Structure formats: structure tokens, C-alpha cells
């Protein structure tokens, strides 16, 4: 009995060692990709940011060094995690990992603790807006206007090989993204998925979702389209289990902005 117990303990320890090794490999390989990726977006606006979110809130963390040249902001760091911001007659001390912020003689708590990433310091949007005053808002608004102009000249279309199909069959769809603008367009994706397709019935219920059951790489990917360049993908839509009737095929680009949607295509299942 003693030998059996010893064997069980050895196997348990081996299992823990192997499990821990896999976890550490995941952290060291994948986590840096998520937090160190450059040229991401915040609220659909592209900057040289390190952390992305789809919507700006008071708690959104934004890196500060990218404001230095455009606003005259000076950033000095010392003792690893201490940063001093200076802009005109204002200054502020922030410490990575601590919510307490000092501005002049005042001390208050930020919504979220500042975070040091590489050689940059990320602070909450509310804190950045307060310290930079109107400069940060003007920059965001200007970038949104440019972004809207760029997206106006982008075409995202769906071209099914047939619009009439027999029950239970599948059909192929050509997905096309074309840049009709006179400037290079860039798209950032959080995973390997570039688009999504849905088939809706007459009650607008989703009866088929292309990504369902598929696996995509879990890494940030970026593609660029030169003026006039086209990107093509193909996808297969399965009608197994669906009744005869009229359906609508919808599709959109799954980049971080999610601003490009194709015109729906009518599909008839006989």
C-alpha cells in the first residue's frame, strides 16, 4: 500500500509540473503579443497604442508618450515605476500600479491604477483628458474625421455562387474587400478571423453563423490595402436542416472598428 501511495504522489507531482509548464509557456509566448502590439485602436481610432478597446470610457487606459510631440508634454521617469508629466505650468506624478495621483498640492485616486508597458505609462482617459485639457479631445476628433473619410471609399461585398439552392446543400460565398481611396488603408484584427457571415430567416432569426464551430488563431493580426488593392476570401454556407423559403445573407468585417458591413443578399432555398 505504501508503494502505491508513493507512486500516486509521484504522478500527481509530475502532472502539476507539466501543467505549470504549459501555463508558463502560454504566458511568455502569447501575453506579450496581446500587450505589446503596436498600432492598435481605441474607440475605433488608430494610434500607436499598446492597449486597445472598442469604446472609450473613463477607465480606458491610454499611453501617454504619443502625446509628447503634439502637445509639448514632457515625461520623466525614475525609480522604475515613477513618472512625472510636465505641460506648460502643470505637472503630475503617477506611479505604476498605484491609484494615488499627485498634481501640485492635490492628491486624489484615479479610477484605475496607471500601468507601465515597455517604456510608456498608461493612465485612465479621464486623467489624461484632465491633464491635457482639450488637446486629447481635439486629436481624437480629428482622427475620427479622417477615419470616416477613409471608410467611405472602402467596399465590402458578398458574392454567393448561387442565390437559389436546394434544401440541405451548401454554397460558396466570395468575400471581397476593396480600397477605392487614394491612400493606404489598414485593418487590425484581434484574432485570425477576418469576417463574419450570418444567414437569417424571414423572422430575422440567425439560422446559420459561419464562425460557429471554427477555430481561429488568438493573436492580433494586421493587413494593409494599397489604393485599388483587393483582398478576397471564400466561405461556405451550409443550409442543412433549414426549411424552404427566403433568407438573407449578411456579412461584416471583424476588424476592431467593425465599421464595414456588406449589403444583404437574398437567398432562396427550394
Write out the three cell numbers for 43. 474607440
Residue boundaries of the structural domains of the chain: 41-147, 153-269
pLDDT bucket at 63, cuts 50 / 70 / 90:
confident
Q: What is the pLDDT of residues 154-189, one digit of tens each?
A: 889 999 999 999 999 999 999 999 988 888 888 888
C-alpha–C-alpha distance, residues 117 and 35, integer Å = 8
Picking from 40, 42, 35, the residue whose alpha carbon sits closest to that of residue 56 is: 42
Handedness of CA 66, 67, 73, 77 (dihedral sign): negative
Strand pairing category for 221-225 and 185-189: antiparallel
Residue 34 predicted with pLDDT over 70:
no
What's the average model confidence in pLDDT over 119-125?
82
pLDDT score at 64: 82
> Do 182 and 225 touch, CB atoms closer than 8 A?
no
- Matching CATH number, 41-147, of 3.30.2270.10, 3.30.70.1290, 3.30.457.10, 3.10.580.10: 3.30.457.10
pLDDT score at 61: 78
- Matching CATH number, 153-269, of 3.40.50.10800, 2.30.30.180, 3.40.50.970, 2.60.40.2360: 2.60.40.2360
pLDDT bucket at 14, cuts 50 / 70 / 90:
low
Write out the three cell numbers for 1. 500500500
pTM, entire model: 0.49
Taking the CB of residue 235, how many other CB atoms lie within 10 A of it? 19
Amino acid at each position: 500500500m505504501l508503494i502505491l501511495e508513493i507512486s500516486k504522489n509521484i504522478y500527481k507531482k509530475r502532472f502539476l509540473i507539466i501543467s505549470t509548464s504549459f501555463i508558463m509557456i502560454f504566458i511568455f509566448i502569447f501575453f506579450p503579443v496581446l500587450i505589446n502590439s503596436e498600432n492598435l485602436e481605441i474607440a475605433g481610432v488608430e494610434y500607436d497604442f499598446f492597449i486597445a478597446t472598442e469604446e472609450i470610457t473613463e477607465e480606458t487606459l491610454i499611453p501617454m508618450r504619443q502625446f509628447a510631440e503634439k502637445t509639448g508634454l514632457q515625461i520623466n521617469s525614475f525609480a522604475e515605476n515613477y513618472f512625472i508629466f510636465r505641460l506648460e505650468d502643470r505637472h503630475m506624478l503617477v506611479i505604476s500600479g498605484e491609484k494615488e495621483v499627485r498634481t501640485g498640492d492635490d492628491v486624489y485616486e484615479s479610477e484605475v491604477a496607471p500601468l507601465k508597458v515597455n517604456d510608456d505609462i498608461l493612465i485612465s482617459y479621464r486623467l489624461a483628458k484632465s491633464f491635457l485639457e482639450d488637446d486629447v479631445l481635439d486629436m481624437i476628433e480629428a482622427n475620427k474625421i479622417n477615419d470616416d473619410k477613409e471608410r467611405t471609399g472602402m467596399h465590402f461585398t458578398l458574392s454567393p455562387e448561387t442565390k437559389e439552392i436546394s434544401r440541405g446543400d451548401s454554397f460558396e460565398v466570395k468575400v471581397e474587400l476593396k480600397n477605392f481611396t487614394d491612400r493606404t488603408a489598414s485593418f487590425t484584427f484581434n484574432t485570425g478571423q477576418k469576417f463574419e457571415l450570418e444567414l437569417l430567416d424571414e423572422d430575422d432569426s440567425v439560422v446559420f453563423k459561419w464562425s460557429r464551430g471554427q477555430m481561429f488563431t488568438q493573436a492580433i493580426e494586421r493587413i494593409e490595402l494599397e489604393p485599388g488593392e483587393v483582398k478576397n476570401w471564400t466561405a461556405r454556407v451550409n443550409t442543412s436542416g433549414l426549411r424552404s423559403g427566403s433568407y438573407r445573407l449578411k456579412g461584416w468585417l471583424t476588424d476592431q472598428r467593425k465599421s464595414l458591413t456588406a449589403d444583404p443578399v437574398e437567398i432562396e432555398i427550394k
